[in-house]
């Protein structure tokens, strides 16, 4: 009996996916529930598992191809696999398979690794094991047309990383031409954009074309918040197992300001203005495959430490490429922290259909006037980009001033939380 591997229903907003990589090869045994292929969508990566145990008989769609829900990716055949030590045992009688394969529960997934190794051991030396390659290294290799088998021996031996592949590419690249004694390097490289990068590009252009974006900037003295974090960071880490960052305080401050200026937490739908009285705050994360903005649902109901733990969990999921569509859905306001990359000042772009995004930046010691004296203080520029169709300049400036006041008196935020 054969079973088709099909692209599942992704979501209402995601119609296409790209085959990122096959986790199995043709001829490999598979168990029910075992992941076979990883699909890359514009938002998250999705793994497609086997519904039946058997053998991956044929791969219909290759890595890099675009597919839609319902497309056939491959075929599983119910070929029997001998148990270890029973390679010479006679095949089971035909009547044993009359009822067809039994669909196994998903609880069997935990046994996948062990059973796969046992099954592979009795199939004989049909294929040399592929080198252990990280997902990013695999992608770089594919973009440059490298056969993964040619990467064997690179790296430390435990695994092959992106850096190992890039060093290999640099070593094998041809020397630059010299024209008239002058070095000339005019190489070009074409790299196919990922679904996520294509979506980022589309949404950025959409934001520019559909919203009347304007940015207002203020500066915040981060001294008080820095001192508070210094006093409490050890106890927070000891009691809660999480650090005490600055983004959680800005989330709390932004929510307080959004309550005072609800237009910044609104969106336009047709000829109506939708004012949202809940606070789902998106936090921009620079992930490996591109920027993602997971959402903290009902962030106004979270304490500082709950916000910290949630952000920590979302960052980890982004790094492991395990964010779900639900993690990224919606959002009423966004915060992005370019300061972690060294940005001194920027004008963030709206995340449609939201009306506001708050940009945080690098903290730098600068001379400022305090009480008629010039003193050195840790200062940060904060920028609010807003949709001028919804928010007037006066409201935007007052919103940002309120955020500044709360950050410069962080004890209030900590007590309220």
Q: What is the DSSP string of 358-404?
A: EEE---EEEEEEETTEEEEEEEEEEEEEEETTTS-HHHHHHHHHHHH
Q: What angle do CA 253, 259, 261 make, to 5 degrees?
A: 100
Active-site annotation holder among 82, 144, 240, 388: 388
pLDDT one-digit tens code per residue, 216-244: 999 999 999 999 999 888 888 888 888 88
- Distance (Å, whole) CA 403 – CA 221: 11
CB atoms within 10 A of CB 151: 20
Query: Would 2-127 and 129-170 be classified into the same CATH topology?
Result: no
Domain 2-127, CATH class in plain words: mainly beta
Overall residue count recorded for the chain in this entry: 417
Mean pLDDT of 378-403: 97
- The pTM of this model reads 0.63
- What is the per-residue pLDDT for 126? 44
39-65 residue pLDDT tens: 887 767 788 888 888 898 889 888 888
**DSSP-assigned beta bridge partners for residue 338:** none
Q: Architecture of 205-416 per CATH?
A: 2-Layer Sandwich (3.30)
Catalytic residue status for 71: no
Specify the 3-state DSSP secondary structure of 17. Answer: strand
Query: What distance, in Å, lies between the first and last C-alpha atoms of the chain?
Result: 59
Residue that wins the pLDDT comparison between 381 and 200: 381
pLDDT of residue 69: 84
pLDDT-derived band of residue 178, with 50, 70 and 90 as boundaries?
Answer: low
Q: 276-317, pLDDT tens digit by residue? A: 999 999 999 987 767 889 999 999 999 998 999 999 999 998
Ranges of each domain in the chain: 2-127, 129-170, 205-416
* Measured distance CA(417)–CA(412) in Å, rounded: 9
pLDDT in tens, 137-176: 777 777 777 776 666 666 555 567 777 777 777 766 545 5
Q: What is the full DSSP assignment across 148-214?
A: GGGGTT-TTSS-B-HHHHHHHHHHHSPPPEEETTEEE-------PPPHHHHHHHHHHHHHHHHS-EE
- Mean pLDDT across the chain: 80
Does the active-site annotation cover 240?
no
Considering only the C-alpha atoms of the chain, give the largest distance between any 2 of them, rounded to a whole number of Å.
96
For domain 129-170, say whether CATH 4.10.320 is its number. yes
Give the pLDDT score at 138.
76
**Model confidence over 260-280: pLDDT tens digits?**
999 999 999 999 999 999 999
**What per-residue confidence (pLDDT) applies to 144?**
76
Catalytic residue among 298, 365, 392, 409: 392
């Amino acid at each position: 009996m054969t079973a088709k591997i099909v692209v599942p229903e992704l979501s209402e907003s995601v119609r296409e996916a790209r085959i990122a990589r096959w986790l199995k090869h043709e001829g490999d045994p598979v168990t029910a529930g075992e992941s076979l292929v990883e699909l890359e969508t514009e938002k998250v990566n999705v793994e497609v598992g086997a519904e039946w145990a058997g053998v991956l008989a044929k791969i219909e769609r290759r890595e890099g191809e675009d597919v839609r829900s319902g497309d056939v990716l491959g075929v599983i055949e119910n070929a029997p696999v001998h148990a270890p030590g029973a390679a010479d045992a006679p095949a089971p009688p035909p009547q044993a398979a009359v009822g067809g394969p039994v669909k196994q529960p998903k609880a069997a997934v935990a046994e996948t690794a062990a059973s796969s190794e046992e099954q592979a051991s009795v199939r004989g030396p049909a294929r040399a094991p592929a080198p252990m390659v990280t997902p990013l290294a695999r992608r770089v290799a594919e973009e440059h047309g490298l056969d993964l088998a040619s990467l064997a021996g690179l790296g430390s031996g435990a695994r092959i990383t992106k850096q190992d592949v890039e060093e290999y590419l640099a070593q094998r690249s041809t020397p630059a031409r010299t024209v008239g004694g002058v070095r000339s390097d005019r190489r070009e490289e074409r790299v196919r954009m990922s679904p996520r990068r294509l979506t980022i590009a589309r949404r950025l252009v959409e934001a520019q074309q559909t919203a009347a974006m304007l940015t207002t900037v203020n500066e915040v003295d981060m001294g008080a918040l820095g001192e508070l974090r210094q006093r409490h960071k050890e106890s927070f880490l000891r009691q809660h197992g999480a650090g005490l960052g600055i983004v959680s305080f800005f989330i709390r401050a932004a929510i307080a300001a959004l309550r005072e200026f609800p237009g910044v937490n609104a969106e336009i739908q047709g000829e109506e203005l939708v004012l949202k009285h809940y606070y789902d705050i998106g936090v921009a994360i620079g992930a490996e495959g591109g920027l993602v903005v997971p959402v903290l649902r009902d962030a106004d109901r979270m304490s500082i430490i709950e916000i910290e733990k949630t952000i920590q969990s979302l960052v980890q999921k982004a790094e492991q490429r395990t964010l779900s569509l639900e993690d990224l859905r919606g959002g009423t306001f966004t915060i992005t922290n370019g300061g972690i990359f060294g940005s001194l000042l920027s004008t963030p772009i709206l995340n449609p259909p939201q009306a506001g995004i708050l940009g945080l930046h690098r903290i730098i010691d600068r001379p400022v006037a305090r009480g008629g004296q010039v003193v050195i203080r840790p200062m940060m520029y904060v920028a609010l980009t807003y949709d001028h169709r919804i928010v007037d300049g006066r409201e935007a400036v007052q919103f940002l001033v309120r955020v500044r006041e709360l950050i410069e008196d962080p004890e209030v935020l900590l007590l309220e939380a």
